[in-house]
Amino acid sequence: MSLPQKHTTPTLGPLIRSRRRKMSITLQDLSDRSGVSVGYLSQVERDNATPTLGTLAQIAQALGVGVDYFIATPRPADALTQADARMRFSIDGSSIVYERIGAEFPGSQMSSFILHVPDGFRSETMQHAGEEIVYVLEGNVVQVLEGEEFRMMPGDSLHYRGNRAHAWYNDSGAPARILWTGTLELFHGMPAPGGAMKRGADTTT
């Protein structure tokens, strides 16, 4: 069985900086609106850091757009997504590969993804509105919730409010797969600018 194709994006930082400047707001303004620190935003704009999908969603909301303004993601045509045909995508500069398994329809409030997490990945710490559920499918990861660490094995799950400071990492020595479901709005807003999608081989970057 062939693996799904993966979509990647062009350099993310300049897209964020361009959108911010079009809105005539400073990094401090963007930080105040998004809840993401000025220092981290500066690193992202200079391509010295790559945000996770959740943090990118916070930045996008603060800029009045959806995540798909910055990255081209597959949009399921209906509620069924088949494993051998589901498209994968990633954020330029990140080693995380995402599979979008949720559909989008009027009134929908949830997003859901399978994350392919390589050994050694460590996320930034984030806080946002809404709630999240993390379920480990394969391998193991450590979820950090307000400084407390939880080693999560296959079959383990964690449900928490997004406004609690949280982060996660994989130090297991092997890849992991996790199912993430949350209420953080990701894809509603302005469409992606032309040329935001680049097809690539199905390998992590």
As a whole number of angstroms, the distance between CA 183 and CA 203 comes to 28
DSSP conformation class of 124: P
- In this prediction, residue 3 carries a pLDDT of 40
Asked if 7 and 74 count as a contact pair (C-beta separation under 8 A), the reply is yes
Q: Residue 60: pLDDT above 70?
A: yes
- In this prediction, residue 12 carries a pLDDT of 86
DSSP conformation class of 99: E
Q: Which residues contact 61 (CB under 8 A, 6 or more apart)?
A: 33, 34, 185, 189
Phi, psi angles (nearest 5°) of residue 13: -50, -50
Kindly indicate whether the domain formed by 6-199 is annotated with CATH number 3.40.50.300: no
Q: How confident is the model at residue 134 (pLDDT cuts 50, 70, 90)?
A: very high
Helices (H) and strands (E) in the chain, counts: 4, 11
pTM of the model: 0.66
